[in-house]
Structure 1
């Protein structure tokens, strides 16, 4: 087999990996690695045939057979082929390293430094990966430089996450964002670069004061990524996008994204766990509201009959709006008098209202969800869920506690879901689950008044959510 045919096989391998879900159904996701590895072995066997043919030919002619440059090319092709597998392959590192030793010019004409960096990354050698990616930036080929920049961006973010120094953390985060933005400038339509930028902004959101504009930047970057058709089959992107939507409490979209991520990578347990936990959370909230927190009617009536307006505490007085510097008097309202918003909306429709509720049940943090959840009723016996973000692990509300919420941001969640388990079953075995509840979001316990007392900073711990991207 000629070198040209080997290079075509290598190109076909990477096109096959890249476009797998454009030519195969999602049901074949579990076969992806096996099929890729089969193509890798085909290339490795073809290389052996080339070497054997060369050896046979040189014995007949009495010369040395393959030149140094030809051996370097064979090592390069085999190394890159082996790197198509998701797991670390020691022979991949050996072949790529040998290729560079035999012909250092490969660093200028191929993406060998990117490939070697990704190989080191799989091995867990981040220093080796960083050095290789930095060397790839010397290439005159834009596509190679793009890959190096976006992979370095991920590494910088990982270095930032491992740093306990806030100043160093922000420095590396800024480097991470700068690098991936430079990659986007090289190829504005590349979905991978956009999704890496989305991850960087999403991570930045949790270490830089949870600024709403940073979350918007992350969301827009993810949306730009999805404009690339291949991104719709990127399980890492779908997972991280699902986590962002969950934080925004866009539960229906979030669940669909997490479920699809799990289907695309069936062996990735974290995606399935997140989807399963969300299904459980949504159904539990629905069931708890329908059952009045599991209380008997007499118990429920007793709690709801004990409303005391003094439990509005400081919310009974006008307060100064931090944006307009004007005093706002709050009207005490029942749940039915509140205007509902869309999840993640920047506009709160209840700026002049305060809601007084009684806690009738809680989920707490037992499902490892970012917010604390409880179920509460107003004096008219209407019930909703309440999510409290950035709550300390010891934050706790008891049945009968009064809960005053100023400028309540309330949303409605009503949709049908199929669990991942149901989706793998036959049509006859499938059962729909209904999600149906209203939810008030509270960004911090400090924003609450509990039994007439304002929440304090001891109740608050800022949440963090991990997002990740693999080397490209």
Structure 2
């Protein structure tokens, strides 16, 4: 009985202390606790509870909002702006757009234009509303008051989604986005969210400016830094974007695992499942089509191979090519003799037996056989839309970058051999090198939520 009484006394004392405390401080602590609950959810819940996270967050939000009704702080002179800001921020904790949050945050910045955090929250609100222009204005409006990581990284994000009048403008936006994200990271190198957005900025640069493997590596390095932050690594979009980068690095097993991790953290988000299933199907298609040599009939396949003629190797037919006034020797070798990585001073020559359909068409993928009927997949990046090859084309690939991946996943055994071509203009098709008009950058296909 005495223990119960003591507990009531402690509870009453705590309530009394809170009443004496500045209401703004009480509400600030409540909102901070709400965000801590969201961002640290998996420290106290298993991954199996992910399906309940949004419902649990709604309950916490309801409890937090009740405290605002208890604290009639808006009646106190000088506190209305912070009251509106805190309540708007509380409503902003969920992913969906809430009109009341926009209304409250708009009031806050009108009453106190230098309230930096309110500008950032209002920008987040407009972002959820898909009002990119207003979101950008909010983040830009906050920067004169202080160069802060939240405004900077959000500007990076907004610039990647902002409609551009030309490709040149799009490229300029991407470059600015990378710089904003770098500045955000420099202000706080331990913030995983800033690292995530820098990784996304590099990934967008890879697709928009040039598909350079070095840019992908920068993206992966940023994601690795983000994963060190306990908050960032609980976000599904980190793993979704990481999976996209891994996919284009052709690290297929790791990409599938990352898509699965993104789905586990947020089962309600369809993009990770869709991209996971697309990649899995694509890998199965590649393996099956290579094993079956494009399902060509033996007689047709034999006729195609008999038609192989070294004159269709074009500038490579004499066993060399010129690069920066230097003559580079090229030895024609069978596909089966390729080594892992770059095969310097080697060339392979064969016929296209099929091309492989993919939802986003990046990379363009086809299968080719050489005179030994050895079949390999070829992935071509930076290829302009509609500029692929067709069945029966003769293909020469100098100094091929070869990979051989064997792994198990979801009851499937994969054994995929492929040649990666970063610059399509090195290819010779039917005796002619592809020209620069056939080279282009791909577009990054991703949900705005994944940013």
Scaled to the shorter chain, the TM-score interval is: 0.7 to 0.9
Residue-by-residue CA offset, 1:371-390 (whole Å, 9 max, x unaligned): 22222222222221111223
Alignment of 1:189-200 (within 5 A): 189-200=190-201
- 1:152 equivalent in structure 2: 155
Question: Secondary structure of the residue that 2:231 maps to in structure 1?
Answer: helix
Q: Tell me the equivalent position of 1:426.
A: none
Matched residue, 1:450? 429
Q: Which residue of 2 aligns with 1:60?
A: none
Q: Please point out which of 11, 32, 46 is paired with 1:25.
A: 46
Partner of 1:220: 221
CA distance in 1, matches of 2:75, 2:340: 74
Return 5+ residue gaps in structure 2 as ranges: 1-17
Query: 1:289 Cα deviation (Å)?
Result: 1.9
Deviations 1:5-28 (CA, angstroms, capped at 9, x unpaired): 433221111001111233322222
- Give yes or no for contact 1:340–1:412 (8 Å, CA) kept in 2: yes
Distance in 1, Cα, partners of 2:339 & 2:182: 40
Looking at structure 2, the residues matched to 171 and 374 of structure 1 have their Cα atoms a distance apart, in angstroms, of 33
Matches within 5 A, 1:16-415: 16-51=37-72, 66-101=75-110, 104=112, 107-108=114-115, 111-138=117-144, 145-159=148-162, 162-164=164-166, 166=168, 168-317=169-318, 318-322=320-324, 325-341=325-341, 348=342, 350-363=343-356, 365-415=357-407
Residues 163 and 224 of structure 1: CA distance in aligned 2, closer, same or farther (over 3 Å): farther
Task: Figure out how many residues of one structure are paired with residues of the other and give that number.
Answer: 429
| SS of residue paired to 1:375 | strand
Measure the CA separation in 2 of the matches of 1:113 and 1:374.
50
Deviation at 1:246, TM superposition (A): 1.5
Distance in 2 separating the partners of 1:206 and 1:320: 29
In structure 1, distance between residues paired with 2:131 and 2:441: 31
How far, CA to CA, are the matches of 1:308 and 1:286 in structure 2? 27
Q: How far is 1:471 from its partner?
A: 10
Q: Deviations over 1:130-160 (max 9, x none)?
A: 33323433556x8xx221221122223333x
SS in 2 for 1:416: strand
The offset of 1:467, in angstroms, is 5.5
Structure 1 unmatched runs, 5+: 55-64, 342-347, 419-431
Change (3 A) 1:165 1:357: closer
Q: For the Cα contact (< 8 Å) 2:210–2:382, is it kept in 1?
A: no
Question: Is the contact between residue 118 and residue 471 of structure 1 (CA under 8 Å) also seen in structure 2?
Answer: no
Q: Is the 8 A contact 1:114 1:136 kept in 2?
A: yes
Contact 1:203 1:467 in 2 (8 A): no
Map Cα deviations across residues 166-197 of structure 1 (whole Å, 9 max, x no partner).
1x444433432332222222211111111211
Q: Residues 8 and 409 of structure 1: is their aligned pair in 2 closer, same or farther, counting only changes over 3 Å? A: same
CA RMSD of aligned residues (A): 2.7
Query: Quick one: distance in 1 between partners of 2:161 and 2:383?
Result: 26
Specify the alignment match of 2:31 in structure 1.
10
Q: CA deviation at 1:273?
A: 1.5
- C-alpha distance in 2 between matches for 1:450 and 1:97: 60
Following superposition of structure 1 onto structure 2, how do residues 429-448 of structure 1 map, counting pairs within 5 Å?
Answer: 432-448=411-427
CA contact (8 A) 1:359 1:374 kept: yes
TM-score by length of 1: 0.82
Q: What per-residue deviation string (whole Å, max 9, x for no partner) do you get for residues 356-376 of structure 1? A: 11222221x443230222222
Change (3 A) 1:71 1:401: closer
Q: CA deviation at 1:397?
A: 3.5
Measured after TM superposition, the shift of residue 303 of structure 1 is 3.3
The answer to whether the 8 Å contact 2:208/2:444 transfers is no
**1:35 Cα offset (Å):** 1.5
